[in-house]
Amino acid sequence: MIKISLPDGSVLEFDGAVSLKDVAERIGSGLANAALAGVVNGQLKDLGVVIENDAEVSIITPSQPEGLKLMRHSAAHIMAEAINNLYPGTKFAYGPALEDSFYYDVDCPEAISTDDLPKIEKEMKQIVKNNAKFERVEMTREEALKKYASDEYKLDNIERAKGDVISFYTQGNFEDLCMGPHVPNAKKIGAFKLLNVAGAYWHGDATKQQLTRIYGTCFANKEDLAAYLNQIEEAKKRDHRLIGKAMGLYEFHSESPGMAFWRNNGVILRNQLIGYIRELCDNNGYEEFFTPQIMSKELWVTSGHWANYADKMYTTDKDGREYGVKPMNCPGALILYKAGLYSHNDLPLRWAEFGHVHRYEGSGEIHGLVRVRGFTQDDAHVFCTPEQLRGEIKECIKFIFEVYTTLGMNFDHIELSTRPEKSIGSAEMWQQAETALENALKELEIDYVLNPGDGAFYGPKIDFHLKDAIGRSWQMGTIQVDFALPESFDLHYIDDKSERKRPVMIHRAVSGSLERFIGVLTEHYAGDFPLWLAPEQVRVLTVTDAANEYAEKVVKELKKYKIRAKLDKRNSKIGAKIRDGELAKVPYQLIIGAKEAENAQVSVRRRFKGDLGTMNVGELAELLLSEIESKELPPVADAKTDN
């Protein structure tokens, strides 16, 4: 007798070994028809897997994230089979599923472009029509190496695979090394669409073969696919690279790949955002520091970055000594702490730093502001006693919530990431840190998902994933608990018994990267920033030259109120000036003709609201300052944060 425990607490009994498919059929025919795979004692398995002992089981369907990921991974293999049919001799490197898409890296004897995607899609549909089954094939490492001795990509993947048994999956006439699982057959992959073609180096190494990367996506049904494709089209309209250049915020040039060139409007936007976070830091007891960008190799060895992060660091050698350009701000804070002498009465110490850091990203990975090589982190490092830790984590969470709520960003989900395979510090330290983060989230009644093995190398973390105005998820802020670095740097404080004790370090960043944050906000608002953030808050437009003198006075008067105003006195029609202001996404436009000049008034237009009538400059300033003070959100992002 085998007992199968289900998620709802019920137990099914079977006379002998039973497959996941049999379990689904016992639960109900509807579930059996929708079933894609199952989870057995926490392990995702193919639907045909046979269970021989008592187990905890759940069935995976397309309505679950795991189900969609399975469908996308299987769609990648269907795409690979189609490419194999159309382009004989193609070799296949990788074919993973991503958060909302999939891709395959291929070494094809012919060039494949976006023009070829409809042909590949057509072949995929034929494969689905034939309903090929996904079957798992296992070989010994020696058998696999012998079978694929002429395929350098499979040989490399076999060498990297763990264990003595190597698994492959076949469907139709295609086979590739794969851990699985997959959907049972081709008709289970739902609705799919191939998206684009890009280049990608093997293992992301520019010294290796350049492969063709073909992207696609897959959803449970045509309606969900259509909604996603519409989201992609909307995202193109909101592309921060195009909006940033059009608004004079930032741009990118080949002379410094992966790093932004900021124009005046962009600098204003950066400073407004930094100023807001800086004010919150001041209100919450933070002191601000600024540490060097280049520090010695010895420091990075002590911090663990040289062993765990060297491939992402920029380095230099001067005067016979090696240095590293900082990829993170935290070692600077550690040096400052170590240079002082603190008692338990001094803790917690809350230190903030808007530090510029550099990390090497592959040329195929950089993308505008959202994936860069040089960026500013709105870092904070909190040094506290173990007894203060949970309370300080809660304060950091509240801080982050306040910023996101003010900016109109909704949470998609919050992740708790635990110890990775490559890490420093003892198991006891990690357990303490993970427990503190978990308890803080529970006490604040915040829902979260567990992300095992994805913590920083020096400590576990909470990551905040935000949802933008068109429903895309972005990983932004983070809170990390670190027992390891205070140990590595031999930090201490004096407790109430005059004994040396080790402080705990919290790493906190609201934006994660200021550049990435601004890129996401640009797309979230589609360039229509709240008035307090808008680089140009007011544009004054003259109808005739006779109004120029008064218009200049209006601009000067507004600037006395610290309102960012510019004058457009070009010899153009007023309709053209208004259109230009709309295209520049200026929140307020003031129209001044002879009548307004004579009456010392302005005619006010508010973006999204239209004509607000005439008023004098004092009344206008009061209106603007009230909106700035309240940090009122534009219609595109007028949403409150969940949780």
CB contact at 8 A, 112 and 214:
yes
Q: What pLDDT is stored for residue 628 in this prediction? A: 97
Active-site position among 171, 377, 432, 601 = 377
pLDDT of residue 638 exceeding 50: no
Q: What pLDDT is stored for residue 642 in this prediction? A: 39
Residue indicated by tokens 């830091």 = 281
**∠204-78-121 over CA atoms, to 5°?**
95
271 vs 163, more confident = 271
Q: What pLDDT is stored for residue 637 in this prediction? A: 55
The predicted model gives 81-94 an average pLDDT of 94
The predicted model gives 332-359 an average pLDDT of 96
Q: What pLDDT is stored for residue 365 in this prediction? A: 79
pTM, entire model: 0.82
pLDDT of residue 316 exceeding 70: yes
Nearest to 603, CA basis, from 617, 613, 588: 613
Mean of pLDDT over the chain: 93
Interval 403-425: pLDDT, tens: 999 999 999 999 999 999 888 88
Nearest to 190, CA basis, from 140, 254, 106, 128: 128
Nearest to 360, CA basis, from 321, 317, 310: 310
- Residues near 23 by beta carbon (within 8 Å), at least 6 away in sequence: 4, 12, 38, 51, 57, 59
Active-site position among 45, 69, 241, 507 = 507
Taking the CA of residue 105 as centre, how many other CA atoms within 13 Å lie in the half-sphere pointing to its CB? 16
Three-state SS at 201? strand
Active-site position among 379, 412, 482, 568 = 379
390-409 core/surface letters (b: 16 or more CB in 10 A; e: else): bebbbbbbebbbebbbbbbb
Q: Is residue 377 annotated as a catalytic residue, yes or no?
A: yes
The predicted model gives 512-540 an average pLDDT of 96
Band (pLDDT 50/70/90 cuts) for residue 639 is very low
* Strand ranges, E, within 156-209: 165-171, 174-177, 191-201
- Residues near 599 by beta carbon (within 8 Å), at least 6 away in sequence: 614
Q: Could you write out the three-class secondary structure of 28-62?
A: CHHHHHHCCEEEECCEEEECCCEECCCEEEEEECC
Domains observed in the chain: 2-61 (3.10.20.30), 66-233 (3.30.980.10), 244-525 (3.30.930.10), 538-637 (3.40.50.800)
The predicted model gives 454-458 an average pLDDT of 87
Interval 212-225: pLDDT, tens: 999 999 999 999 99
Q: Is residue 203 annotated as a catalytic residue, yes or no?
A: no
% of the chain with per-residue pLDDT over 70? 99
Cα distance between residue 162 and residue 142, in whole Å: 13
pLDDT of residue 584 exceeding 50: yes
pLDDT of residue 205 exceeding 50: yes
The predicted model gives 531-544 an average pLDDT of 97
Nearest to 213, CA basis, from 354, 382, 95, 360: 95
Neighbours of 413 (CB within 10 A): 16
Instruction: Using CB atoms within 10 Å of the CB of residue 341, give its burial: 0 to 12 exposed, 13 to 18 middle, 19+ buried.
Output: exposed
Active-site position among 381, 419, 516, 577 = 381
Interval 598-614: pLDDT, tens: 999 999 999 999 999 99
- Residues near 346 by beta carbon (within 8 Å), at least 6 away in sequence: 493
pLDDT of residue 171 exceeding 60: yes
Q: Is residue 507 annotated as a catalytic residue, yes or no?
A: yes
Cα distance between residue 539 and residue 631, in whole Å: 20
446-479 core/surface letters (b: 16 or more CB in 10 A; e: else): bebeebeeebbbbbbbbbbebbbbbebebebbbb
The predicted model gives 140-168 an average pLDDT of 90
pLDDT of residue 115 exceeding 90: yes
The predicted model gives 299-321 an average pLDDT of 91
Q: Is residue 379 annotated as a catalytic residue, yes or no?
A: yes
CB contact at 8 A, 484 and 538:
no
Interval 387-406: pLDDT, tens: 999 999 999 999 999 999 99
Q: How many helices, marked H, and strands, marked E, lie in the chain?
A: 20, 34
CB contact at 8 A, 435 and 442:
no
The predicted model gives 240-257 an average pLDDT of 94
Give the type of residue at 194: L
Instruction: Using CB atoms within 10 Å of the CB of residue 492, give its burial: 0 to 12 exposed, 13 to 18 middle, 19+ buried.
Output: middle
State phi, psi for 545 to the nearest 5 degrees.
Answer: -60, -30
Band (pLDDT 50/70/90 cuts) for residue 59 is very high
Q: Is residue 381 annotated as a catalytic residue, yes or no?
A: yes
Cα distance between residue 580 and residue 583, in whole Å: 5
pLDDT of residue 640 exceeding 60: no
Active-site position among 330, 358, 412, 480 = 330
* Strand ranges, E, within 510-601: 538-542, 565-568, 588-592
